[in-house]
Homo-oligomer: A and B are copies of this chain.
Amino acid sequence: MIEITDSDGVRVITFNRPEARNAFNVAMYREVTDAIDAAGATDELRALVLTGRGSAFSAGQDLGEMARIAAGEPNDGIAGGFPALIDALAGCPKPILAAVNGVGVGLGLTLLAHCDVVLIDETARLRAPFAELGVPPEAGSSYLLPARLGWQQAARVLLCADWISAKEAVDAGIALRACAEGTVLDETIEVARRLAGYPPEAVQEIKRLMRAPERSAVDDALRRENDAFSRLLGSAANQQALARFATRRK
């Protein structure tokens, strides 16, 4: 489900399910989580880059899997999948960069708030269709998107479920800069190598110190979001929304 390449102190983790636009199913959650945790524990690796194979960065949660869970199938897998990935992202002591090569939907957008540096292909666009799907925000995004984007742009993303372009993502502050088509991975690796060249103790302290002030707010948001998810997932409105969404996508 993923590819891993280690070079010059930088681990590149490539989401590799292009047939599903790199949507996260339980297996992919686990592979990404393990790859992040292992990089965190390996001295020679000093920075991580997340990217996607094909035209998408990630379509987010696999909606087929979500529909089965919403319909009442046992969800042990997903519980071990999504939360473990968020823990790995939030707990990684090393800088995580994202090279957003294409479309990012749902978690493909919200995980960017857990990345330290985000570059985006100028043709990519982002969307969080939670309102339309009848589900609450996830991954701490109810706190992190207002913090990263400002209130109005966060409301546009979370309440209006609008698409935002690469330029809008940069202007709003969820990405650092847009890159010429096809160059985002190379440019991101270049930044990652620069970070890998600084004294690693200092780089990790800087990341830790920057993340510390928002840690408890992120944890609180995750708790509230999970509670809301339990209430809304599988409701009539949610099941209808998932069915409509699936129909329209075909």
Contact = CB atoms under 8 A, between A and B. Distances in A.
Contacts of A133: 202
Contacts of A130: 202, 206
Contacts of A143: 213
B224 A212 contact: yes
A199 B152 contact: no
A232 to B, nearest CB: 6
A137 interface: yes
A132 B200 CA distance: 10
B131 A199 contact: yes
Interface string A86-109: 000000000100000000000000
Copies of chain A in the complex = 3
Interface string A224-250: 110010011001011001000000000
Interface stretch (A8-16, A35-43, A56-64, A169-177): A169-177
A205 B213 CA distance: 25
Nearest to A200: B237
A123 B29 CA distance: 47
Interface stretch (A19-27, A65-73, A75-83, A156-164): A156-164
Contact of A173 (B136, B137, B153, B237): B153
A-B pairs with the 7 shortest C-beta distances?
Answer: A142-B209, A199-B237, A150-B173, A134-B199, A131-B198, A152-B176, A134-B202
Interface residues of A, number: 63
Interface string A171-185: 001111000000000
Contacts of A231: 201, 205
25 contacts: A95-B155, A95-B159, A116-B151, A117-B152, A117-B159, A131-B198, A133-B202, A134-B201, A134-B202, A136-B205, A136-B206, A137-B206, A137-B210, A146-B213, A148-B150, A156-B176, A158-B206, A159-B206, A159-B207, A200-B237, A201-B231, A202-B232, A208-B228, A212-B220, A213-B221
